[in-house]
Amino acid sequence: MVPDPREAANFSRPEGFSRGDFRRRAEEFIGIVQGLWRGWDADALLFDKRGGRFFDPKKMHLLDHKGEFFSVRGPLNVARSPQDMPALVISGLSEPNMDIGARVADVILLDEPSVAKADDLKRRALAFERSPDAITVLMNVAPGAEMAGRPGVIADKLEESFRSKSCDGFNILMPPVLSVLDDFVDLVLPELRRRGLVRQDYRNATLRSHLGLAGEEGQ
């Protein structure tokens, strides 16, 4: 959520965005996206061949958004998500954007372990009438080269951050090197499993279910 002038220049905006515009635009943008994801109720599709009713018109909703930057009637021409809505992940949140994250994100990625930051996010979520559990805070960690020798050390570090409640889990920054992924899967994960810190198996087939996010069953 930080404007990069190089990217803007490839999208017919050589002048870029001002910071304020960028933030308000991002906020409006996210609201529209999540609104469009709710355009069809989960039980809207009837597939009633005999009655000639493919969907129930009452279960399709126009968005009718008219805002500062966008005007979008909707609905989307894609059915409701199998997991209710795709998960919204936000990373690189600067201080002024923390509120946006707390209001709309399902997952927030942080670069450093910080109990204070994780607490702060959950408090802000409460202020927006969201359950603190509605946000999953993940910490970016690079597995490093020492895995093979000392998988227990890495497991200790992860366990410590996790137990101190500075995050709900980790986003492992895998370099595009197969052996690093293999070492993590073969050495570190079994250790974390032995400690009961990582699932033995998927409970369900959606991302929301893996992350323990709301939206799966009850809407």
Distant-in-sequence, close-in-space partners of 111: CB < 8 Å, separation ≥ 6? 139, 140
CB of residue 84 to another protein, shortest distance in Å: 14
Q: How far apart are CA 189 and CA 197, in angstroms?
A: 9
Pick from 1, 33, 72, 198: which binds another protein (CB under 8 A)?
72
| Residue 10 in contact with another protein, rule: CB under 8 A | yes
Nearer to another protein among residue 77 and residue 200 (C-beta): 77
The Cα 28–Cα 69 span in angstroms is 7
Tell whether omega for the bond before 190 is within 30 degrees of 0, i.e. cis: no
The residue count for the chain: 219
Do the beta carbons of residue 74 and residue 206 sit within 8 Å? Answer: no
173 binds another protein (CB under 8 A): no
Using alpha carbons, select from 37, 126, 42 the residue that is nearest to residue 76: 37
- State yes or no: residue 40 binds another protein (CB under 8 A): yes
163 binding another protein? (CB under 8 A): no
78 part of the interface to another protein, by CB under 8 A: yes
Task: Out of 57, 149, 176, 196, point to the residue binding another protein (CB under 8 A).
Answer: 57
Shortest spacing between CB 86 and another protein, in angstroms: 12
Q: Which residues bind another protein (CB under 8 A)?
A: 6, 9-14, 40, 45, 47, 49-50, 52-57, 60, 66, 70-75, 77-79
